[in-house]
Homo-oligomer: A and B are copies of this chain.
Amino acid sequence: MPQPKLGLITSSELALFMDYYELTSTKADFDHENDAVVTQEYFVRSVPFGSYLIAAGLEQVIAFAMKLRFEEKDLGWLEATSGPDFRNGFLDFLMNFKFSGDIYAVPEGTVVFPNEPIINVTGPTIEVQLLETYLLNVMNYQTLVATKTARMVDIAGERTVVDFGARRAHGRDAALLAARAAYLAGATGTSLVLAGKTWDIPFIGTMPHSFIQNRPNELQAFREYSASFPHNTILLVDTYDTLEGVRNAITVGKELNEQGYRLIGVRLDSGDLADLSSKTRKLLDEAGFEKTKIFVSSDLDEYQIEELIREGAPIDGFGVGTRLVTGANYNPISREGGVSALQGVYKLVERIGKDGHPIPKTKLSVGKVLLPYRKQVHRQTDENRMFYRDTISRWDEVIPDAEPLLVPIIQKGVLSYKFPSLQDSQQYCRDQLRQLPKSYRLLIEAPVFPVKLSPQLEKAASSN
């Protein structure tokens, strides 16, 4: 009997993670010897929420660019299935493919704004084009999740935010990459064990409701759990009646105390969390469990976290699932939203002409801005190191008293950047958010951060 197929992507299949048009158009490039050096840039035209984005996903893009090879079996399959037009020297050319160009990018965790180049890729046309689908896939998703998480972490302040979303993520990669992007943007940890192992992220868990349902009563379930995890007892109290559950947790907490352990926390997963957390805190405090923490979860997002905090709910940590891993784009005030995706694009902006001079590239479709030429972003800070203004310029333009954001990652096909640990990137991201003035971090109606065009770029953009 044929076995069911898991559909795991193996590293040898990376080369086929491409929209077919990348292979058809580069085949036509090959046929017509179009090997001009070009620059394509990754940027996002508009932010789905708030004023800023947290760039995330670069490490995976670079791993792809470094590892991308076409194998004989893949090319054989392509030749066999793509019809008569695909049979020529192009497939031999792909056999020898290795990315030889330059990639500049903002480090992961950097605060960026609409229309700013986040990655620019320069090299022979075919090489630059073949990175497109993967680059967009991984940058759009991780940047979305990192941005969404940063908003939650920012509003949560000292309280923890933990990714609980694996079951609602769009496939395994999404669960894994969401945990990564969330941690980068300041989450405390994840529920997904594999993410913990892959990225060295703290992983966290209590018990499912079924664990309690599966026993004669809640008190026995709590006793069995605490006996197995005396060092780390967090009890889920909402299976039947939340406050009764808290009383059962207190009973078990006292038994733990007698054995020299303590009740770390309780978790509420349903109901009116503001009201229930207050009543839970009161019950715990009255019983002497002032240090026992209250964790909550239940379809949370940054708006609900903000509301709970505003109402004074005594919550120590938030577990967020669906709306974190999908980067749910929904504005509760305007009741607008609905597309959980970042619409980032990877556009041709410059081509080096035969005379060695750069030729600007734009596209004239209605309503879609495309700034010509290979570009750099320069950031200016005020006397308190707060972000003050960005300037997008042509690549080699000098902008005084400003820091260029795009740094060299790959040069002539060779990795020249040392990726920080995810922990270091998290610290960098935290610093970035601290440097962004508070008004730009408002959950709703944040003003637009001032991003201006350099004189040279202004001239080029207006002449197109």
Q: Which residues of A contact B (CB under 8 A)?
A: 1-11, 13-14, 16-25, 27-29, 31-32, 34, 36, 38, 40, 59-60, 62-64, 66-67, 74, 77-78, 81, 83-85, 125, 129, 132-134, 136-138, 140-141, 164, 166-178, 180, 191-194, 196-199, 203-211, 213-215, 224-225, 227-232, 238-241, 269-271, 299, 322-323, 325-326, 328-330, 335-343, 347-348, 351, 361-368, 415, 418-419
Q: CA–CA, A194 to B64, complex, Å? A: 15
Given contacts A2-B418, A9-B172, 9 further A-B contacts (CB under 8 A): A7-B60, A7-B180, A22-B208, A38-B210, A85-B228, A170-B170, A299-B339, A322-B341, A340-B341
Residue contact B21 to A206, C-beta cutoff 8 Å: yes
Q: CA–CA, A367 to B270, complex, Å? A: 9
Residue contact A191 to B9, C-beta cutoff 8 Å: no
Q: Given A174-B170, A231-B85, A326-B341 in contact, is the A34-B205 Cβ separation under 8 Å?
A: no
Kindly report which residue of chain B lies nearest to residue A32, judged by CB atoms.
B224
Residue contact A205 to B361, C-beta cutoff 8 Å: no
Residue contact A137 to B28, C-beta cutoff 8 Å: no
Please, which residues of chain B bring their CB within 8 A of the CB of A367? 270
Residue contact A28 to B169, C-beta cutoff 8 Å: no
Residue contact A239 to B363, C-beta cutoff 8 Å: yes
Q: CA–CA, A231 to B455, complex, Å? A: 48
Residue contact A6 to B67, C-beta cutoff 8 Å: yes
Residue contact A169 to B166, C-beta cutoff 8 Å: no
Pick the contact of A25 from B38, B208, B241, B361 — CB < 8 Å?
Answer: B208
Pick the contact of A19 from B38, B141, B167 — CB < 8 Å?
Answer: B167
Please name 20 pairs of A and B residues whose Cβ atoms are closer than 8 Å in the assembled complex, sorted by A: A3-B415, A5-B60, A5-B198, A7-B199, A18-B193, A19-B167, A20-B203, A25-B211, A28-B227, A32-B227, A32-B228, A134-B172, A137-B172, A170-B341, A171-B172, A213-B363, A322-B339, A329-B338, A337-B337, A338-B338
Kindly report which residue of chain B lies nearest to residue A321, judged by CB atoms.
B341
Residue contact B4 to A210, C-beta cutoff 8 Å: no
Residue contact B173 to A170, C-beta cutoff 8 Å: yes
Pick the contact of A8 from B10, B199, B342, B365 — CB < 8 Å?
Answer: B10
Pick the contact of A24 from B138, B207, B362 — CB < 8 Å?
Answer: B207
Please, which residues of chain B bring their CB within 8 A of the CB of A341? 168, 170, 322, 325-326, 328, 340
Pick the contact of A194 from B3, B5, B9 — CB < 8 Å?
Answer: B9
Q: Which of A17, A168, A363 has the most CB of B within 10 A?
A: A168
Q: Given A330-B337, A366-B271 in contact, is the A28-B194 Cβ separation under 8 Å?
A: no
Residue contact A194 to B17, C-beta cutoff 8 Å: yes
Please, which residues of chain B bring their CB within 8 A of the CB of A330? 337-339
Pick the contact of A83 from B14, B193, B232 — CB < 8 Å?
Answer: B232
Residue contact B343 to A338, C-beta cutoff 8 Å: no
Please, which residues of chain B bring their CB within 8 A of the CB of A85? 228-232
Which are the 3 A-B pairs with shortest beta-carbon distances?
A330-B338, A20-B205, A171-B173
Residue contact B16 to A137, C-beta cutoff 8 Å: no
Kindly report which residue of chain B lies nearest to residue A206, judged by CB atoms.
B21
Q: Which of A7, A32, A209, A215 has the most CB of B within 10 A?
A: A7
Please, which residues of chain B bring their CB within 8 A of the CB of A29? 211, 214
Please, which residues of chain B bring their CB within 8 A of the CB of A207? 21, 24-25, 28
Q: CA–CA, A368 to B418, complex, Å? A: 49
Report A95 CB to chain B, min CB distance, Å.
16
Residue contact A214 to B7, C-beta cutoff 8 Å: no
Residue contact A64 to B2, C-beta cutoff 8 Å: no
Residue contact B168 to A140, C-beta cutoff 8 Å: yes
Q: CA–CA, A24 to B230, complex, Å? A: 12
Kindly report which residue of chain B lies nearest to residue A173, judged by CB atoms.
B171
Q: CA–CA, A362 to B213, complex, Å? A: 7
Report A194 CB to chain B, min CB distance, Å.
4
Please, which residues of chain B bring their CB within 8 A of the CB of A180? 7
Q: Given A213-B361, A368-B270 in contact, is the A415-B1 Cβ separation under 8 Å?
A: yes
Please, which residues of chain B bring their CB within 8 A of the CB of A224? 28, 31-32, 34
Please, which residues of chain B bring their CB within 8 A of the CB of A238? 365
Report A377 CB to chain B, min CB distance, Å.
21
Report A261 CB to chain B, min CB distance, Å.
10
Report A361 CB to chain B, min CB distance, Å.
5
Report A337 CB to chain B, min CB distance, Å.
4
